């Protein structure tokens, strides 16, 4: 199948391009490199042996998107293209609404008009907010979003559901709610490329281990968890990439009695505290990470991890790569980009 991968030069998109190719699909990247670098295409060429076909342009530009759909025989779409910095979205809400909602509407419109049958959307565990119970199930309520970014994921899910149901069977779609993606391809040639000071734990940790940052601050040790630090469900980006292949396979092969639109958690089902993650990194890499306890970060929730039964049962996917490997893969990637 020819799969259009919007945001395919980004962190999760680039790993998904690799897994799509390994699964026998042909990925076609659409990205304007607003949060990635063209050098990711070199990394992909090293892994795949050839450069994936790439269209450089903005997904909110309907004329540009139309030229791609006219030029290619597209069978399915994976829509990653979005901005993702929670704090920036609070400062610049219209930037986030325009880009994240505008790109979804534009790409979905072309998908429908060109009769493309399968669409996978990047949603996020952020839609659950502070959960009432753990592990989090897909049927648990979505809480009012605490940032414009989070709101774009809730609105995005709703747009996709409504559009899919209105298409009367011509489109089938899945929203994947990612928990916390970490890690990098084992070759060390592609990985996460945070621009500026990282907000997320693992890139901050690996930059500190590499000596680029003085010290990692652990945001709070007075949460109601076993060691007082926050708990998250860290999922290896290659496992996450494979969940997209499972979603597409399901959309292409589903019986007609399956729901046309569905949502799935993509997590390991296991919670890891910040302190445990730092300890695991130090043990697995042998590198000490200077760190100190600081105050809580505004907006952080205490614990968040997935019930991943639905995706295992229905799509046959479950996470396979352990946290230890995710952290050594992140470290290999960090060393490569620091060198």
User: Site residues (CB under 6 A) for ligand WQD?
Assistant: 84, 86, 124, 126, 180, 199-201, 204, 216-219, 230, 232, 274, 297, 300
Report the residue number, 33 or 219, with the smaller CB distance to ligand WQD. 219
Report the residue number, 178 or 333, with the smaller CB distance to ligand NAD. 178
Q: Which one is catalytic: 11, 96, 128, 149?
A: 149
Residues of the shown chain interacting with ligand NAD in the complex, contacts defined by CB under 6 A = 7, 9-13, 31-36, 58-60, 80-84, 99, 103, 122, 124, 178, 181
What sections of 3-51 are H helices per DSSP? 11-22, 40-48
Report the residue number, 124 or 163, with the smaller CB distance to ligand WQD. 124
Q: Do 68 and 30 contact (CB within 8 A), yes or no?
A: yes
- Taking the C-alpha atoms of residue 239 and residue 216, their distance in angstroms, rounded to an integer, is 27
Query: Who contacts 46 (Cβ-Cβ below 8 Å, separation ≥6)?
Result: 187, 189
Minimal distance, residue 334 CB to ligand WQD, in Å: 15
Query: What SS3 class is residue 285?
Result: helix
Minimal distance, residue 256 CB to ligand NAD, in Å: 29
Extract the tokens encoding 67: 């030229």
Query: Who contacts 209 (Cβ-Cβ below 8 Å, separation ≥6)?
Result: 281, 285, 287, 288, 289, 331, 334
Using CB positions, name the residue nearest to ligand NAD. 10
Extract the tokens encoding 332: 């290999």
Report the residue number, 152 or 167, with the smaller CB distance to ligand WQD. 152
Minimal distance, residue 200 CB to ligand WQD, in Å: 3
Minimal distance, residue 221 CB to ligand NAD, in Å: 23
Query: Who contacts 310 (Cβ-Cβ below 8 Å, separation ≥6)?
Result: 137, 138, 264, 265
Report the residue number, 59 or 319, with the smaller CB distance to ligand NAD. 59
* Residue 80's binding partner out of ligand NAD, ligand WQD, none, with CB under 5 to 8 Å set by partner kind: ligand NAD
- Taking the C-alpha atoms of residue 99 and residue 83, their distance in angstroms, rounded to an integer, is 7
* Residue 13's binding partner out of ligand WQD, ligand NAD, none, with CB under 5 to 8 Å set by partner kind: ligand NAD
Can you name the residues that pair with 263 across neighbouring β-strands?
A: 175
Phi, psi of 71 (to 5 degrees): -80, -25
Minimal distance, residue 143 CB to ligand NAD, in Å: 16
Q: Do 240 and 266 contact (CB within 8 A), yes or no?
A: yes
Active site residue 178: no
* Residue 182's binding partner out of ligand WQD, ligand NAD, none, with CB under 5 to 8 Å set by partner kind: none
* Residue 23's binding partner out of ligand WQD, ligand NAD, none, with CB under 5 to 8 Å set by partner kind: none
Active-site positions read: 149
């Amino acid at each position: 199948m020819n799969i259009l991968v919007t945001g395919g030069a980004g962190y999760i998109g680039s790993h998904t391009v690799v897994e799509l190719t390994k699964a026998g699909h042909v990925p076609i990247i659409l990205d304007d490199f607003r949060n990635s670098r063209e050098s990711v295409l070199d990394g992909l060429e090293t892994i795949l042996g050839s450069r994936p076909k790439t269209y450089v342009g903005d997904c909110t530009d309907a004329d540009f998107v139309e030229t791609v759909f006219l030029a290619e025989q597209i069978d399915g779409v994976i829509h990653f293209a979005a901005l993702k910095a929670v704090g920036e979205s609070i400062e610049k809400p219209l930037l986030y609404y325009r880009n994240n909602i505008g790109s979804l509407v534009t790409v979905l419109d072309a998908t429908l008009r060109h009769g493309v049958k399968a669409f996978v959307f990047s949603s996020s565990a952020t839609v659950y907010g502070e959960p009432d119970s753990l592990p989090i199930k897909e049927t648990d309520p979505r809480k009012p979003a605490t940032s414009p970014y989070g709101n774009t994921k809730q609105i995005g899910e709703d747009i996709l559901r409504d559009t899919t149901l209105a298409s009367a069977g011509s489109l089938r779609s899945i929203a994947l709610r990612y928990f916390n993606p970490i890690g990098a391809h084992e070759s060390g040639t592609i990985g996460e490329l945070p621009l500026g000071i990282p907000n997320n734990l693992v890139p901050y940790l690996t930059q500190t281990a590499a000596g680029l940052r003085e010290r990692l601050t652990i945001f709070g040790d007075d949460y109601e968890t076993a060691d007082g630090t926050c708990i998250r469900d860290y999922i290896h980006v290659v496992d996450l990439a494979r969940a997209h292949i499972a979603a597409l396979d399901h959309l292409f092969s589903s019986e007609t009695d399956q729901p046309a639109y569905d949502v799935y958690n993509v997590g390991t089902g296991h919670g890891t505290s910040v302190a445990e993650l730092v300890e695991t990194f130090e043990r697995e890499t042998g590198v000490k990470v200077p760190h100190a306890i600081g105050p809580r970060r505004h907006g952080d929730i205490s614990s968040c991890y997935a019930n991943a039964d639905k995706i295992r049962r229905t799509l046959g996917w479950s996470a396979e790569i352990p946290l230890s490997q995710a952290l050594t893969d992140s470290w290999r990637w960090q060393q490569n980009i620091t060198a």
